[in-house]
Chain A
Amino acid sequence: MEKQNLFKKFIYSQKTAPYVFLLPFAISFLVFFAYSIFDTFVMSFQRVAGGNTEFIGLKNYQVLFNPIFFKALKNSIFYMIVTCCIMIPFPMLLATALNSKSMRCKNMYRSLLFIPALTSVVVAGVVFRLMFGELPNSFMNQLIARFGAEPIIWLRRVPTVWLVLFLLCIWRWTGVNMMYFLSGLQQIPEDLYESASIDGASAIQKFFHITVPLLKPTSVYVLTISIYGGMAMFTESYILFNGNSSPNNIGLTIVGYLYKMGFEQNNIGLGSAIGVVLLCIVLIINVIQLKFNGGIFAKRKEK
């Protein structure tokens, strides 16, 4: 009885309760995040080799800044920018269309657009790789042959590789982003549209002057996760090129380079250095982006 009381006292105490509730997060943060980050920093100054691990100073960082690293970085940033440019306006328009009253078969379209999100990226990548085969009898080459075009070597040439990667991204993620926007649209009060209609606003005017501004919080959120997603892209390229080795590194991403150096070539120290540099880059991009958009920062001030 005494014991239980003590326990109750402890749990219901205003002073201790917050710490108790925070504990699970704090522990998992310390073990899985803080420790790993710390160790990554340490390893980025080492040559990691089981029992023979030794400190080698800044060697990993000196080696890191080589043309292949910059190519991978360029690829990742390009992918991130283009996907952000496509994956915000396009799903927003679709969501608006699906939200409008005059749209028929809403649920069918919603499901159709969302189904790709349920497939594994690996499966999707394999299907895309086979569809975009380079022989004349591959699916896409047969398709373009109907329009009289010559077969294309899709996955070993620069512009078409990007086309395939963006198509895969659009196919896979449009439904997810559309769902975010749909839920954002549901928050916009109907009377705003009504009063705009009374004032004689056209559908296009309503979209640009009501929908887009009021969807801003959702857009900022989608932009933030798209930046993460774009910079972290790895699986798509790994599967599309059947194992992380694209010709002349045309599809090598920064995480792909980390994987290549750290795991494939047994250079965990260099891999860690790439991870550290990547962390800094993404941190900087997102802090700037959020500041620019007044995202988190502005909202907190309002309160």
Chain B
Amino acid sequence: MKRLFTVLAVLILSISFVFAGGSSEAAPAAAAPEMDGSTQGTNTFVEGGTELSLWTFQELHVAFWTQMADEWNAQYPDRAINLTVSSAESGALHNRLLIACQAGVGTPDIADIEIGRYGSFLRDGYLLPINDAVEPYQDDVIMSRITMYGDGTGNWYGIDFHLGESVAYYNMDIMNAAGVDPADIVTWDDYLEAGKIVLEKTGVPMCVVETNDLFLPQLMLLEKGGQYVDENGNPNIDTPEHAEVINFIREMIEAGVCIICPGGGLHEEEWYGFMNGGGVASVCMPLWYMGRFTDYMPDLNGKIGIYEIPVWNEGDVRAVLQGGTGTSVLKFTQHEQLAKDFLAFAKLSEFGNRYEWEVLGFDPIRTSLWTDPTITENPDNKYLQYFLDNPFDILNKNGVDLTAPDIRGGYSAAYSVLCSTTYVNAFEMSIDTPAEELLANEQATIIYY
């Protein structure tokens, strides 16, 4: 009997261990307010307005949403809303949202969902199609930023904050010292050759590659017409195009033109310090990355030129979209139509797009703003002041035919493997393993069913 009791005691201890694991999982979430401050925001209260709630993982978006709600109430007083926006740290917020969706209770009406996590929500049918709300704006905006948040059968579920067109940022101090004009760089081969000159003349590498994210290889892959998922949405990273991309980046690393990103990624403290100190000549990132320059790299003010990204073959279109946040209406909402219409208004109206560009530094989805001088030549805009070149020149030049990543189904699962093992192995740890073999191994570790 006593023995039975002791065994039971051990059992209980062990069980509580599992929960100890559970509670320590909660620790980062609970600590989120300490780290980046969860906040709540509301619009100016309107008597009789419909209550709507919205979750975001980016604190800067709180003010965007409440201002949009104020403007919506001014324009549509008969459909007034009282919007409550809550923000929390990204990982914690997405987990909370997922649990709420699985339980079917406690979800907000609208939520910002990061592109890497979007597939999970779409796949299990937690989101509502928003086609009817988007259609009135269809002719004024770049539709690939909306159709990418779709299921491939003609339904769209989310709208992004920005276009996110990728460009090449050059540190012109370094380029001038090396005597290389970025305007002459057309193909990736040109880029590599220019990098060799930069390295020789200044001792600085041309670019970096991330090991904890995928921007450079994804950009190159999209230019080749490749994706990380196949046409049915199943993860598919073992493709000849992907192997070519890896081999090219390896060639740049071999030549010393490309190095592993300090800190492992383009959103790390180490990297900001490295770039800010003139440690590297260029970086290819979407236009929303302008905000990282103005916020984290003050010493480069007035030194960064914006050019088009290189292409594989001369004459190819250079327009690629990367990163993003799809804002969607959850299917559990009580105010379906209102939530959808407000979402489309905030993200697609001219008012919303102006705010997104001026305050958040996001390249607008609405094409009419690209040629509006009050936007493109606004002397007070901090992004136009910081950079040597006008980003709208590139938007206008590349036009509206833009390639977006396919983020359906297995994208989230593939993304997780790519950013935790594939690119570390490809560029740092197993640099001698042939790319085809490496990708086949990596493909085998993706868990998706």
Does A300 have its Cβ within 8 Å of any Cβ on chain B?
yes
Given contacts A121-B27, A296-B9, contact A135 B262 (CB under 8 A): yes
Least Cβ–Cβ distance between A195 and chain B, in angstroms: 35
B6, A297: Cβ atoms closer than 8 Å = yes
Q: What CA separation (Å) do A223 and B176 show in the bound complex?
A: 63
CB distance from B17 to the nearest CB of A (A): 5
A59 to B, closest residue via Cβ: B449
Are B13 and A122 within 8 A (Cβ)? no
Q: A67-B445, A245-B212, A247-B428 are in contact. Are A122 and B27 (CB under 8 A)?
A: yes
Minimum distance in angstroms from B286 CB to a CB of chain A: 21
- Total number of residue pairs linking A and B with CB closer than 8 Å: 161
A91 within 8 A of B: no
Say whether A260 faces chain B, with CB atoms less than 8 Å apart.
yes
A263 to B123, CA, bound (A): 15
Report if A270-B421 is in contact (Cβ < 8 Å); known contacts: A33-B16, A232-B17, A265-B412: no
Question: Which residues from chain B contact A29 at a C-beta distance below 8 Å?
Answer: 12
Q: Mark B264-281, 1 if CB is under 8 A from A, else 0.
A: 100011100110000000
Chain A residues, CB < 8 A from B429: 247-248
Residues of B within 8 A of A296 (CB): 6, 9-10
A17 within 8 A of B: no
Nearest-CB distance from A39 to chain B (Å)? Answer: 12
| Residues B420 and A66 in contact, CB atoms below 8 Å apart | no
Given A133-B270, A245-B420, A66:B447 Cβ within 8 A: yes
Q: Which residue of B lies closest to A50 (CB)?
A: B102
B18 touches A279 (CB 8 A): yes
* Chain A residues, CB < 8 A from B91: 243-244, 264
A228 & B95 in contact (Cβ 8 Å cutoff): no
The answer to whether B380 has its CB under 8 Å from any CB of chain A is no
**A181 cross-chain contacts in B, Cβ below 8 A:** none
- Tell me, yes or no, whether B291 is within 8 Å of chain A by CB: no
How many chain B residues have a CB neighbour from A under 8 Å? Answer: 63
Which B residues from 203 to 240 make CB contacts under 8 A with A? 211-212
In the complex, A5 has a CB within 8 A of chain B: no
A273 to B: closest C-beta gap in Å: 11
Stretch at the interface among A6-14, A201-209, A280-288: A280-288
A282 to B19, CA, bound (A): 13
Report how far A282 CA is from B15 CA in the complex, Å. 9
Interface residues of A in 250-279 (CB under 8 A from B): 252, 255, 258-261, 263-268, 270, 275, 278-279
Residues in A21-46 with C-beta less than 8 Å from chain B: 29, 32-33, 36-37, 40
Mostly helix, strand, loop or mixed at chain A's interface?
Answer: helix
Question: A258, B21: Cβ atoms under 8 Å?
Answer: yes
Does A120 lie at the interface of the complex (its beta carbon under 8 Å from any beta carbon of B)?
yes
Chain B stretch 24-41: residues in CB contact (< 8 A) with chain A: 24-25, 27-28, 31, 34-35
| Residue numbers in B under 8 Å from A144 (CB-CB) | none
Is A232's CB under 8 angstroms from B95's CB?
no
A127 contacts partner chain B, Cβ-Cβ < 8 Å: no
Contact status A232-B268, CB under 8 Å = no
Per-position 1/0 for B423-441, Cβ under 8 A of A: 0110011000000000000
Q: Which A residues touch B10, using CB under 8 A?
A: 283, 286-287, 290, 296
B3 interface residue per 8 A CB criterion:
yes
Q: Are A246 and B412 in contact (CB under 8 A)?
A: no
Q: Smallest distance from the beta carbon of A59 to chain B beta carbons, Å?
A: 7
* Bound Cα distance from A187 to B38, whole angstroms: 48
* B125 adjacent to chain A (CB < 8 Å): yes
Q: Using Cβ atoms and an 8 Å threshold, which residues of chain A touch B35?
A: 122, 126
Say yes or no for A145: interface residue by CB 8 A criterion: no
B14 with A282: CB separation less than 8 A: yes
A270 to B413, CA, bound (A): 13
Knowing A120-B31, A283-B14 touch, does A266 contact B412 (C-beta < 8 A)? yes
B-facing residues in A220-236 (Cβ within 8 Å): 224, 228, 231-232, 234-235
Please report which residues of chain B, range 87-124, place their CB below 8 angstroms from some CB of chain A when the two chains form the complex.
91, 94-95, 98-99, 101-104, 117, 120-121, 123-124
Q: Which residues of B lie under 8 Å from residue A135 when comparing CB positions? A: 262, 270, 273-274
- Cα–Cα, bound, A123→B27 (Å): 11
| Interchain CB contact under 8 A, A234 and B268 | no
Give chain A residues whose Cβ lies under 8 Å from the Cβ of B16: 33
- For B397, list chain A residues within 8 Å (CB): none
Shortest Cβ distance from residue A73 to the other chain B in the assembled complex, whole angstroms: 14
The verdict on B400 contacting chain A, using a C-beta distance below 8 Å, is: no
Q: Does B398 contact A (CB under 8 A)?
A: no
Q: Interface on B for A, CB 8 Å cutoff?
A: 2-3, 6-7, 9-21, 24-25, 27-28, 31, 34-35, 91, 94-95, 98-99, 101-104, 117, 120-121, 123-126, 211-212, 262-264, 268-270, 273-274, 412-413, 416, 419-421, 424-425, 428-429, 445, 447, 449
> What 17 additional pairs, Cβ within 8 angstroms, besides A156-B428, A296-B6, A301-B2?
A33-B15, A37-B18, A48-B102, A49-B123, A49-B124, A51-B104, A59-B449, A120-B34, A122-B34, A224-B13, A228-B20, A245-B419, A258-B21, A267-B447, A279-B17, A286-B14, A296-B9
The chain A residues found within 8 Å of chain B, CB to CB, are 29, 32-33, 36-37, 40, 47-52, 59, 63, 66-68, 120-123, 126, 130, 133-135, 137, 156, 224, 228, 231-232, 234-235, 238-239, 242-249, 252, 255, 258-261, 263-268, 270, 275, 278-279, 282-283, 286-287, 290, 296-297, 300-301
- Name 22 interchain pairs, CB-CB below 8 A, sorted by A: A33-B15, A133-B270, A156-B211, A156-B428, A231-B17, A235-B24, A235-B27, A238-B28, A243-B91, A249-B420, A252-B420, A263-B99, A264-B94, A265-B412, A265-B447, A266-B123, A268-B102, A275-B21, A278-B18, A279-B14, A286-B13, A297-B6
Closest 5 CB pairs of A and B: A266-B120, A49-B124, A122-B31, A247-B424, A263-B95
